[in-house]
Structure 1
């Protein structure tokens, strides 16, 4: 059952007030709400709703690159999201975006990711193939507009967190439905999209007045902050856990291996020469570690390296965007983020280093196959058992569904909400076997 268009006027009782660069249109909510605490802006309320959501808490036990149980040091989706929010806030403030809109988008950007990270996303896309597939970004939009219990419409149906239009739009990394973006059904939007067909009414409302296929500035800041966060921090994790020797990667053979991994994983758009130059710039800096033993001195040097890299990227983007669009406050569709080519290449090759030393080796580990099999088994068990084992919110969706497609979507929503730990527990309980992960 899809969310209907809201009844009555769309205008919220809140107003933009002193929010520089934002209008009443931007602070409207799908279901109007009375103005509340005048000491808080609508965007501060949005951030608080995401911060207190159960979806955000669950990210603490969801895979980032390495599973949460692999080591106490490694990042989870939650710690990654907090770090992305800090990077995004710095960029947003430099440009004049409302920091709470950017913060909300960064905190929310991974809410829709299922257990086992991208491995789980691939499995659920297979499970949901007959109902339009599964995509983490579309699931995020579904969660904040529907699944996260906070607000109801006049008919008593959940509208999720009922965020403002500006905050919702900032979350939309891919502002189109499946197959409805650049390249059409055969292009990138067949794989990367921000909305399921079932959730189009609220998505259409959110995009009122927005240029087709164009992301707002705050969404662009969120996306770049995500790239900066995991490019730098995944390399930090790889070095700290001994998977990457920072001294060895300056050798020609290892440098070439990083460049090859980058182009194999992310495509050949960036030339090998550009990536080689970027890698040389990064590893040639005086801040780059020549060895890592885990000593306090090395740990401090590694942390300083990550801080300097983040500062390097944030500063380059802020300066380039200001040069292109001037000194005034920039928000929504006033500007587009300008990422210098050298900066884009450096971020990409760092992502490639994480592929080389962490992600690619794991693709061939038996654990990956076991994780996917586990989710397939769990989906079968839940489909066969009806609403008996579903949590109340998903059991309600199952009972309210008009057809098998709606019931399958309720099962997929349930599995996507699970953490790595609870997915293993559910599998052991419902499928009668313990997963050796």
Structure 2
């Protein structure tokens, strides 16, 4: 009988173990390489680069997303992270075309931004069909977390419920109990007017009428004359961007503000900068972010200012936060596969300068604190972009529509 050489057996065992380990490492490396589809994690910033919302989104949103990628480290285990961008031109069909091209041909993993509710609703439909993550950091309609909610859609920033329950509620309780609306004639403006009207009536006020204008309107005189003739105490501006700026300027030129007060339901700090404090002073605004609120917000905003030449809007800050939250989820899931990343994003709190303890609910709404602010007078402002006084913090559970009122079909599953 042949004697077994224990030394040779040991060597053989060692060799087998080494080969097995090598095969395991190679397999693990292949699995890891395959975890990031097409060898790159690609984030698309879909925004308004040329129209009415370009100042509050636009290039600033691209800069914010790029800052997040850089702060994250620029790669995931050696897999590069890339930011691409496009202009949706405030057209739903153009936004849908970009989204379809990005998802089907250019392997974009997620889209952030939008800055237009009609565009956002169109993109959500594309993302739902393609099972891709889309994060709305600039669209306002609550339809995104109600009748148009989708499993992979996240509404990250403000919405019409939060804006109206912040500003309208405060104004009515302080004597502004009769309103006339000047409203942008598309999904966002109509929803904002609807939500604000509900708040006004709930708090004992009344709405005397409304006038609706096309997006990107140059002449607001007829709409504001109608508001003036109504005799309402408050002229509610259910629009945004350059439309809000033009409406406020026209109201001052025609003397509307001599007998009526304006309530801007969606106003950005860039709007105040454009108007000047002499015109905008005293205006109450609900916002999800203010650059000068604390040391963290100031530190990030000054970095943003160095690249953008202006302080960030809440859309810019939200785009940074959403991009970073997405990348952290990809890192934790060790894949860019939609289902795994989506699940990771939803179970992880949003903790950064933009939001502390933010939560993504089952309807896709990311709830976080909102802030009621008042625009300072020129005498109160002490340095550039020192525009707001924070009147109140609106806790996240109070700021957004409760799930009990939501019509999102996902809640029934």
Alignment TM-score, normalising by the size of structure 1: 0.29
Higher helix share: 1
TM (normalized to structure 2)?
0.31
Which one has the largest radius of gyration? Answer: 2
